[in-house]
C-alpha cells in the first residue's frame, strides 16, 4: 500500500457542483459508478476512509449517509479502509445523537467521525455537545472537524447561509483541553487561519491535521514548513476527493521533496496509528 487517504467523499453521491466548479474539476473525470470509484483507489494502491456526511448545499439526488459508506467499505475492502461517520450535530437533540453514536461505535467499519461545523452551524467547543464528545472520547474513535475556508457556498450570495467562524481552528483548542484523550483531526490547513491552526496543533498533543483540499505544492508555505518539521508526526495525507484528484494529489505530494521517512509517516504510518488501522 502506498498511502491512506483520510479524507474522501464518495463521488457516487452528494457531489457538490459549486465545489467542483471552484476546484475547476472536470465532471467527466469524476467516477460516477461504485466500481469505477473503488477501482481508482485500488489502481493507485491507496486505501480511503470514506466520509458519511451529506453537504446541506446538495439538494438533488440520493443522499450520502453512514449506511451507504459502510456498505461501500463492505463491498470494496481493497479500496476502502473504513468510514468516518457523521451525525447531525447542531440540528438534532444531543440525546438522539448519543444513541446513534452508540450504535455506530459498535460497527467495526467505523474508524472515526467527521463533522463540518460551518455547514452544520455549530461550535465544536459549545458545551451543549459535550455529552456526545464524552461518548466519542470513551469510544476511542478519532473525530475530524472541518477547519477554515469551505468551498460550500463559495462565491454565492450570503455564502448560501454558511458562516466560516464555526470552522476557526481556535475552537478545537478548548475542545482538546476538555477532552485530552479525544484524538481530534483538523481537516485542511485552516486557511485563512493557518497560523492559528499550526499554533493549536503544536500546543495540543491530541490534535492532528490533514493535508486535504489542496494539491501539496499549493499548501500554504508556513504549513509546508510545519509538516516538514515539528508536525511531521501529526500530519495525515488526505485529498478531499472527488474535489481534488487522487492521482494529481499523489504526484504533487512527491514534489514537496520530503525526506523518505517523513513522507512515509504522513502518507501511511501516522494514519495507521491515529485510526488504529
Distance of closest approach, residue 116 Cβ to Zn ion, in angstroms: 8
Asked whether position 119 contacts Zn ion by CB under 5 A, the answer is no
Give the list of residues 6+ apart from residue 116 with CB closer than 8 angstroms, or none.
53, 55, 86, 145, 146, 150, 152, 167
- Contact set for Zn ion, span 228-257 (CB under 5 A): 240
Q: Which residues does 131 contact at the CB level (< 8 Å), separation at least 6?
A: 94, 95, 98
CB 189 within 8 A of CB 175: no
Q: Does residue 16 touch Zn ion according to CB under 5 A?
A: no
CB of 29 to Zn ion, least distance (A): 18
* Closer Cβ to Zn ion, 179 or 214, answer by number: 214
What is the size of the binding site for Zn ion (CB under 5 A)? 1
Closer to Zn ion at the Cβ: 167 or 258? 167
Q: Among candidates 96, 88, 82, which has minimal Cα distance to 8?
A: 82
Residue 66 vs 258, nearer CB to Zn ion: 66
Shortest separation between residue 28's beta carbon and Zn ion, angstroms: 21
Please give the residue whose beta carbon sits closest to Zn ion in the complex.
240
**Which CB atom, from 72 or from 258, has the smaller least distance to Zn ion?**
72
Q: State the minimum distance, in angstroms, from the CB of residue 127 to Zn ion.
A: 26
C-alpha–C-alpha distance, residues 188 and 236, integer Å:
10
Closest approach of Zn ion to the CB of residue 244, in Å:
9
Beta carbon of residue 208, minimum distance to Zn ion (angstroms, whole number): 15
Quote the strand ranges of the chain, DSSP E. 3-8, 46-51, 80-85, 110-115, 143-146, 184-187, 207-210, 235-236
Residue 240 to residue 67: CA distance in whole angstroms: 20
Nearer to Zn ion by Cβ, of 252 and 258: the residue is 252
Strand, coil or helix: what is 50? strand
143-202: contacts with Zn ion (CB under 5 A): none
Tally of CB atoms within 10 A around 1: 13
Q: Which is nearer to Zn ion, 196 or 240 (CB)?
A: 240
Residue ranges in contact with Zn ion by CB under 5 A: 240
Amino acid at each position: 500500500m502506498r498511502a491512506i487517504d483520510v479524507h474522501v467523499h464518495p463521488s457516487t453521491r452528494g457531489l457538490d457542483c459549486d465545489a467542483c466548479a471552484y476546484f475547476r474539476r472536470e465532471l467527466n473525470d469524476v467516477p460516477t459508478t461504485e466500481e469505477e470509484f473503488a477501482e481508482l483507489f485500488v489502481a493507485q494502491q491507496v486505501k480511503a476512509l470514506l466520509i458519511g456526511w451529506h453537504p446541506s448545499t446538495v439538494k438533488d439526488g440520493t443522499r450520502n449517509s453512514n449506511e451507504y459508506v459502510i456498505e461501500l467499505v463492505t463491498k470494496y475492502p481493497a479500496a476502502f479502509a473504513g468510514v468516518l461517520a457523521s451525525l447531525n450535530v447542531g440540528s438534532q437533540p444531543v440525546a438522539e445523537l448519543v444513541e446513534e453514536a452508540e450504535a455506530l461505535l459498535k460497527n467495526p467499519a467505523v474508524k472515526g467521525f467527521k463533522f463540518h461545523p460551518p455547514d452544520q452551524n455549530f461550535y465544536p467547543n459549545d458545551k451543549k455537545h459535550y455529552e456526545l464528545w464524552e461518548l466519542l472520547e470513551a469510544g476511542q474513535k478519532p473525530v475530524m472537524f472541518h477547519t477554515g475556508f469551505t468551498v460550500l457556498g463559495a462565491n454565492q450570495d450570503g455564502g448560501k447561509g454558511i458562516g466560516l467562524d464555526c470552522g476557526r481552528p481556535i475552537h478545537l483548542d478548548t475542545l482538546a483541553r476538555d477532552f485530552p484523550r479525544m484524538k481530534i483531526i483538523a481537516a485542511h490547513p485552516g486557511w485563512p487561519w493557518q497560523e492559528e491552526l499550526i499554533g493549536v496543533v503544536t500546543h495540543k498533543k491530541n490534535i492532528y491535521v490533514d493535508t486535504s483540499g489542496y494539491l501539496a505544492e499549493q499548501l500554504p508555505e508556513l504549513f509546508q514548513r510545519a509538516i516538514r518539521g515539528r508536525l511531521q508526526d501529526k500530519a495525515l495525507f488526505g485529498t478531499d476527493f472527488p474535489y481534488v484528484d487522487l492521482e494529481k494529489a499523489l504526484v504533487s505530494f512527491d514534489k514537496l521533496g520530503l525526506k523518505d521517512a517523513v513522507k512515509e509517516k504522513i502518507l501511511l504510518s501516522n494514519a495507521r496509528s491515529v485510526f488504529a488501522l
